[in-house]
A and B are shown apart, each in its own frame.
Chain A
Amino acid sequence: MPISGITVTVDPARIEEISKHLSSEFNAEVSAVKNNLIVVLETEDNKQMKEHFEAIAHLPGVATATLAYYSEETLEIS
């Protein structure tokens, strides 16, 4: 279950729109700092993480998406 932290720079006019889109479509935790979004993504596997990342980077209104943190551990059932 990989988890990643991503900074996303967006067009300020669309920050709300994109925040909402990210939290609904990608099930991400999103917080905004000025015009950057801090996005925490959790996915099933690496492949999905890659797809999500590419999708986010190519959203209209997104200038850059940068990977800041990436962690992968196997799931324990506790």
Chain B
Amino acid sequence: MKKINNYLLLSLVYLTSVCILFIGCDKQKNADYGKYTRQEMRYYAYAPPNIPHEVINRRCIDCHLEGLVVQGFRAPVTPHPTLVNCEQCHVRADQTVALFKENHFVGEHEETSLGKPQPAGPPLIPHRIFMRENCVVCHNDSMRKNIVQTTHPERSNCVQCHVAQQNVAEASLARAE
């Protein structure tokens, strides 16, 4: 009798934990990691990206300060870690929610590539750098499938060679060291 009871207990525990595991993972079901292009994540080029996953707790920094890998995707490292009130700009816009009214806005996005001024030289930066001064967050992360990766991550002063088309990067000398 005792043996059977133990067995039952054990299986119950096992089943429960499996269920919990599934339920827990279920929470991630509403997460769309890495699926969207840069343009789809934001309304227009200078808008902050929307949050593509359900917000479970509000400690964004836990994943986004150092780029925790979740379900095969690296959480984008925030390029502006000193701005700590994340929810001020980044909202969870759940795409499954029906709209109140349609909106005809069409946002302007940036070129994804502007080529190189000289064939052997460095490519231009096609996008605005304000609040995106930490290049390696995107350009040294092999998990980012649609972003060009640097061939020379050991050179840390990117803006010495790569310039933005309309203005040289707003990076200060301090970052060069």
Contact = CB atoms under 8 A, between A and B. Distances in A.
* Chains A and B touch each other in the complex, with CB atoms below 8 Å apart: yes
Interface of A: 7, 49-50, 53-54, 57, 64-68, 70
Interface in B130-177: 159-160, 163, 167-174, 177
Given A67-B159, A70-B160, A50 B170 contact: no
* Pairs of residues from A and B, 10 with the lowest C-beta to C-beta distance, nearest first: A50-B173, A68-B168, A53-B173, A66-B168, A66-B170, A64-B170, A53-B172, A57-B172, A66-B167, A50-B174
Contacts of A54: 172-174
A66 B173 CA distance: 9
Nearest to B163: A68
Given A57-B172, A64-B170, A67-B172, 12 more contacts: A50-B177, A53-B172, A54-B172, A54-B173, A54-B174, A65-B172, A66-B168, A66-B171, A67-B171, A67-B173, A68-B163, A68-B168
- The B contact surface, by secondary structure, is loop
A50 B172 CA distance: 8
A68 B171 CA distance: 10
